Structure 1
Amino acid sequence: METTLYLTRHGQTEWNLIDKMQGHMDSPLTELGIQQAVWLKVRLEDVHFDAIYSSSSSRAINTARILSNNRPIEIQTIDSLREINLGLWEGQQIEHIQRKCPIQYAQFLTKPHLYSPIGHGESYLELLERTIPLLEDIISKHKGEQVLIVTHRITLKVIMSFFMKKRLHEIGDMPDIYHTALCKISINDGSPKVVLYDDISHYQE
């Protein structure tokens, strides 16, 4: 009995375009972000999904709506699939953060085991602790089924690190995850196999 998870990041947003940090804050999808979701929708249109889960952030929900492609399935929105909470960095330009907090920002990207959020944000370990139990619950509920999950850049990277058996300090060495890039996990007899990671072969430009 094979369980298959299809996981993706939301499409490009207006704040992505101007290098502004989002985290739990939000901004609308750009025209390109909508197009990225449409490209992935076409790629997945022949896949039967038994369930669709999305982060409760609107950029993820709107991506999930496009990907659902009028399937008669309710999109289940889950707070635990939201992006890592970036504390005081949310809503700030990346260039400003790099100037003010060069060490912390470098650790955020490349040394997650050392990164400590400024303000009421989350560490990578806290992100793992809120996402992995949810993934285990989804797998338990949907044995033998195919599930689509729409989330965010760092959240998806952390989820994939779990399935790839990466340790916390190794997450910074993992390849980045692009907008609407597809990850795929197949699970047989409780053993997960990474079939796809950050696959953007559906991009048309």
Structure 2
Amino acid sequence: MKNGMLTLYIIRHGETEWNKEKRMQGRLDSDLTEKGRSDAGLLGERIKDIDFKRIVSSPSKRTIYTAELVRWAREIPIETDERLMEIDLGEWQGKVESEIREHYPAEFDAYWNRPESYESAGGESFYDVANRVASFLEDLQKTSSEGNVLIVTHAVAVKALYMLCRNAAVEHIWDPPFIHGTSLTILQIDQDRKEFLLEGCMAHCE
């Protein structure tokens, strides 16, 4: 018996106060900005006619709030899965980028320019994130073989997903597209075949 098609609508949470301040969040959290809330509402409007079977979010406050705004009036519970959380940035969390660049110059350079050799001070590597996202995806395919599923997560988790679906190496994790707040990526999974129908799209904000 051939399964139907599973279509994932993958979004990054809306802009937060810390995003605006270029402050690294990781596992810490900050509130959505007015723009973040407004963008999530616009995305909700854009996909209001999609029939979602499930909504799965990272347990962070910023993703759950985004999921609530995008869900609109649908009476679908928001499930959470820790494997969708942002990369754990250890000692960098809560610090602004300029501060990190100053105190961890080699690690900061590796994070953006040589991700395969990046080692976190007390947090996760990109490999760690890729492994948990892969495990999430595998389980999702077992529990939802078809239909539309809305996934609300974070930039590095979305990047890891691109990398996994393209069988790319970790050094390519920052390859385009750029993942803006509330950007929409649509991934279609047909058994072993994975195809991106839309990548990091921000048409709802234009």
TM-score (norm 1): 0.96
1:103 Cα shift?
Answer: 2.1
* Equivalent position amino acid for 2:153 in 1: T
Tell me the distance in 2 between the aligned counterparts of 1:80 and 1:2. 23
1:172 Cα shift?
Answer: 2.9
User: Which one is further off, 30-39 or 167-176?
Assistant: 167-176
Residue of structure 1 aligned with 2:32, choices 29, 37, 41: 29
* Equivalent position amino acid for 2:135 in 1: P
Matched, 1:136 2:111: no
* CA deviation vs aligned residue, 1:108-164 (integer Å, no higher than 9, x gap): 12321010001x200000111111111111122111211000000111111121112
The answer on whether the counterparts of 1:164 and 1:194 sit within 8 Å (CA) in structure 2 is: no
Equivalent position SS for 2:117: coil
Runs of 4+, deviation exceeding 6 Å: none
1:54 Cα shift?
Answer: 0.3
User: Which one is further off, 182-191 or 30-39?
Assistant: 182-191
Tell me the distance in 1 between the aligned counterparts of 2:191 and 2:21. 45
1:5 maps to 8
Residue of structure 2 aligned with 1:149, choices 145, 148, 151: 151
1:160 maps to 162
Tell me the distance in 1 between the aligned counterparts of 2:113 and 2:62. 25
1:72 Cα shift?
Answer: 1.3
Q: CA RMSD in A?
A: 1.1
User: Which one is further off, 57-66 or 165-174?
Assistant: 165-174
User: Which one is further off, 183-192 or 89-98?
Assistant: 183-192
Equivalent position SS for 1:202: helix
The number of aligned residues is: 203
Residue of structure 2 aligned with 1:64, choices 67, 75, 96: 67
Matched, 1:86 2:89: yes
Change (3 A) 1:199 1:15: same
Gaps (5+ residues) in structure 1?
none
The answer on whether the counterparts of 2:56 and 2:81 sit within 8 Å (CA) in structure 1 is: yes
TM-score (norm 2): 0.95
Matched, 1:176 2:178: yes
Gaps (5+ residues) in structure 2?
none
1:174 Cα shift?
Answer: 3.4
User: Which one is further off, 53-62 or 179-188?
Assistant: 179-188
Matched, 1:194 2:169: no
Identity rate, percent: 34
1:87 Cα shift?
Answer: 0.3
Equivalent position SS for 1:21: coil
User: Which one is further off, 181-190 or 60-69?
Assistant: 181-190
The answer on whether the counterparts of 2:159 and 2:174 sit within 8 Å (CA) in structure 1 is: no
Tell me the distance in 2 between the aligned counterparts of 1:70 and 1:47. 12
